[in-house]
Amino acid sequence: MGKLRDQMLADLELRNYSHKTRGEYVRCACNFAKHFWRSPDLMGEDEIRRFLLHLVRVRKVSTSVQKMHVAALKFLYRITLNRPEEVQRIPYPKARKTLPDVLSQDEILALLRAVQSIKYRTIIATAYATGMRISEICRLRCSGDIDSTRMLIHVRNGKGAKDRYVTLSRRLLHLLHQYWKHVHPQGPYLFPGQEKNRPITATSVCHTFKKAVAAAGISKSVTFHTLRHSFATHLMEAGEDLRVIQVLLGHASIRTTSRYTHVSAHLISRTKSPLDLIGLPEDHSLN
């Protein structure tokens, strides 16, 4: 795409899209151009539809991959090419709504005990104790982010370029003290990578997490993000207010947070069926 690629990158940067999103959008736009071996400024709605159908019918990509390509092409034509009419009728794919897997508290303990490295154990504990995203944990800084006086963690530049505070657990603070005593990171980041001035990578964390899941004997299909789901679900089961959980997770909409009301098996099991509310003794037979 050449010059058009550079222009798209500049437009994304001016609108403060994250580095990762900028890369994904440009990659999707390049996929579109390579499919027809033509520059996007020489194509329009017909080619966009044919390309998206190719992704669905031939490549059989996931809904999330479809959605990313639609978002990238909408940005390209609306902003960079200033031809919004080309993507006005291009729909976002309808996503299948699934419930996330959640780890029990016993499984969380087994997972933490399966991690030998205090560095990775602290990272995993931080994810469960705070509900932070993996990228947010990797970017934590030694100076200013951990407030042990107010018992808060300052999450900077989270999703949507938003800052927020999350609760600092006393157990997590104790673990952080142990980690600091043993590792004492020298650079600016609390969890540095191989280079002390760069944060640990999400890839490295996920690799260790996957090995810990296997070592703990957990058979559920889980990812590092499952710790965030578990955090929210366990808080809800403990009776925490939904709006407080929304703020802790950094959700823009309460509707996103309310999905955890459907996940919590504990809350569901406590709900009485209307059949049990009929004015009869519980052991009364309906025969």
CA separation for the pair 140, 138 (Å, rounded): 6
Helix (H, G, I), strand (E, B) or coil at 189: strand
Sequence length of the chain is 287
Q: Read out DSSP for 190-212? A: SSB-SSTTSBPPHHHHHHHHHHH
- Paired residues of 153 in beta bridges: 146, 166
Q: Which residues contact 80 (CB under 8 A, 6 or more apart)?
A: 4, 7, 8, 11
Using the structure block, give the residue that is written with the tokens 């559920």: 220
Active-site amino acid positions:
133, 159, 225, 228, 251, 260
